[in-house]
Amino acid sequence: MIDRPAASDAPLKLTLPDGSVREVAPGTLPREVVGNIGPRLLQAAVAVEVDGAVQDLMTPLRRSGSFRVITDKDPKALDVLRHSTAHVLATAVRRLRPDAQIGFGPAIEDGFYYDFGVDKPFTPEDLEQFEAEMRKVVADKLPFVRAEVSRSEAKRRFADDPLKLERIEDLGADEIISTYTDGPFIDLCRGPHVPDTGRIAQFKLTHAAGAYWRGDEKRQMLQRIYGTAFFRKEDLDAYLHRIEESKRRDHRTLGAALDLFSTDQRVGAGLILWHPKGAIVRNEIESYEKELILRHGYELVYTPHIVSEKLFEISGHLQTFKENMFGAMEVEGAAYRPKPMNCPGHICIYESHQRSYRDLPIRYAEFGTVYRYERSGVLHGMLRVRGFTQDDAHVFCTKDQIDNEIARLLDLVDEMLKTFGYPYTIELSTRPEKALGEPEQWRWAEEKLAEVLKGRGQEYTIDEGGGAFYGPKLDFKLIDAIGRKWQGPTVQLDFNLPERFELEYIGDDNTRHRPFMLHRVLVGSMERFVGGLIEHYAGAFPVWLAPEQVRVIPISEDVTAAAAAAADMMKAAGLRAHLDARHETLKYRVRDGEVMKVPYMAVIGAREAEQGTVAVRARGAAGNKQEIMPLADFIARVVKEKETRAVSA
């Protein structure tokens, strides 16, 4: 289902990667073009890219432009493979459950899903049966046969499937309606697909979950089956290993086991309760960041949790972000809302005085708690919540200062992420569909961000349409210990809010000028960042973040006093030390320290008490390996790790 281009009999001109041009008649199948280039290339082809758009070998050519063949070595081939695997899943489900209604089945990051309308949820046993049936479909090497049909024909073919009929009604008058079949199963689909089911060898169904039809909680609940597919077995095995490792690192499980945080339905869904140990982790991060940003020229501010709705009318949030805001409350006849953003408050602080060019740049920072409505179905531990604290900051500057301020922000982000041991990538996110301001302003701002990155030799990719509604941004994606990407810092260039609030400063020409704004967060949401850190470190925080840095364990009761004195010395040195003098075996207490992921255990027996030493067991040490060292030296070592914020011992 694609837009139908204007009909023309003129030959299409296809420019190949080597610069040569081939002319073909409109409607020619890509497989014919690829076959003419070479039969071996046709055998290897998964799809083609025409004028920047990926299409399969069975979809007629309708436009001129660049033309290249996509093989299984091309990153863009994975989406084609996964979309085709979703189709094979639907084929298998319909074979075993003929009454299942068919929803959507797109490729997504790391895999695919397909939605089905069935009477009861799928079980793990169901998924095993579907996967076995999929392997039969693959073994049959059924070709994906594409057909273009009229709207009336499409309605006839899908008369028994209300989900597909609804989708047909949504299609524009000029859209080409296409179907794909593999054997007797037919699906309403725009493609692209691999040539035949035999190309789908390495796949796995991972889990099933409920999902509302079209994401609307007022509509029927469907059953969504998730899976993944790769061209090579080693890639699939590596992915499945990563999935298992992800389960082991799940921050919800570790958060409960390590007593870091909890949620309570009496408090409300998506609202985090920080326990004392979790609060230590959070406080250490906030203290570090305050020290960092003050050194980088920021000033701390605080703004209210609820503000008048009028502020959001001016900012444009009510126009573009209302569905993500909590409802208004009436106070003395005026409407107030919990703030979804901190920026309007910082703007009000800027406006509280007349500003001169000599005052700029002004850098305001706040650990500001905000509230956003998220549907209950997407809430996920600390990673997707309704109330969270942002380490928000806004820089007000002149046009001439923008380049330098963006560069300073890039330095700040780099320093912070290195402290936590995160490598990262950068995406330049451009104008979204819902956007304030003129397209020319957006293009200028996007080019400005790109200029600074290029000037620093910084690699980046483009995220089309991923910008904030008020300006383009740089998104930093953190890469964790098992290769997953997490949303991290953002830097946004904003020309809209200064205009909407009519911000001004007096220039050196003694006339009024409009400042620019840069929005930035470093950790972003404190909740999401800590949840990600739990998974990144698998709960084994480095010393500076660990809620308990040293556990002191006396071997017997007669050395408890010496162990208590050692613990007091550690506390006096600023360490978070805990004395474990429980009437349990030494083995039990050591094992408990390992389970709680304490970085160091200092074991004290009669010899250590007499000589002023400790037997040190470092977290993760092989076997029962321990190191005997003077107590003072051990304390100095741990203090150094803490003060330097070392990622590892």
On whether the CB atoms of residues 402 and 514 are closer than 8 A, the answer is no
189 catalytic residue (yes or no)? no
Question: CA torsion sign, 131 to 133 to 134 to 135?
Answer: positive
Question: What are the residues facing 222 on neighbouring strands?
Answer: 211
The residues near 15 (Cβ < 8 Å, ≥ 6 apart) are 21, 65, 66, 67
Alpha helices in 274-430 (DSSP H): 276-295, 309-315, 317-320, 343-351, 402-420
Check 62, 282, 386, 394 and give the catalytic one. Answer: 394
513 catalytic residue (yes or no)? no
Contacts 24+ apart (CB under 8 A), 590-594: 590/553, 590/617, 593/551, 593/553, 593/617, 594/619
Task: Calculate the alpha carbon distances from 461 to 228, 426, 430, 449, 464 in Å.
Answer: 24, 7, 11, 12, 10
On whether the CB atoms of residues 190 and 144 are closer than 8 A, the answer is no
Residue 368, token pair as written in the block: 């500001």
From CA 481, how far away is CA 484, in angstroms rounded?
8
Residue 376, token pair as written in the block: 């209950």
Check 346, 473, 477, 528 and give the catalytic one. Answer: 473
From CA 636, how far away is CA 638, in angstroms rounded?
6
Return the number of other C-beta atoms located less than 10 Å from residue 192's C-beta.
26
Question: CA torsion sign, 200 to 202 to 205 to 211?
Answer: negative
The residues near 10 (Cβ < 8 Å, ≥ 6 apart) are 26
Check 372, 477, 597, 642 and give the catalytic one. Answer: 372
Check 115, 189, 343, 401 and give the catalytic one. Answer: 343
Task: Please tell me what DSSP assigns to residue 60.
Answer: P
519 catalytic residue (yes or no)? yes
Check 193, 519, 520, 589 and give the catalytic one. Answer: 519
182 catalytic residue (yes or no)? no
Alpha carbon distance, N-terminus to C-terminus of the chain: 57
- Strands 550-554 and 600-604, bridge-based pairing: parallel
Check 392, 480, 494, 580 and give the catalytic one. Answer: 392
Check 55, 101, 223, 390 and give the catalytic one. Answer: 390
From CA 133, how far away is CA 90, in angstroms rounded?
10
From CA 109, how far away is CA 149, in angstroms rounded?
30
343 catalytic residue (yes or no)? yes
From CA 84, how far away is CA 196, in angstroms rounded?
9
The SS3 of residue 359 is coil
322 catalytic residue (yes or no)? no
296 catalytic residue (yes or no)? no
From CA 225, how far away is CA 116, in angstroms rounded?
8
Q: Which residues are catalytic?
A: 343, 372, 390, 392, 394, 473, 519
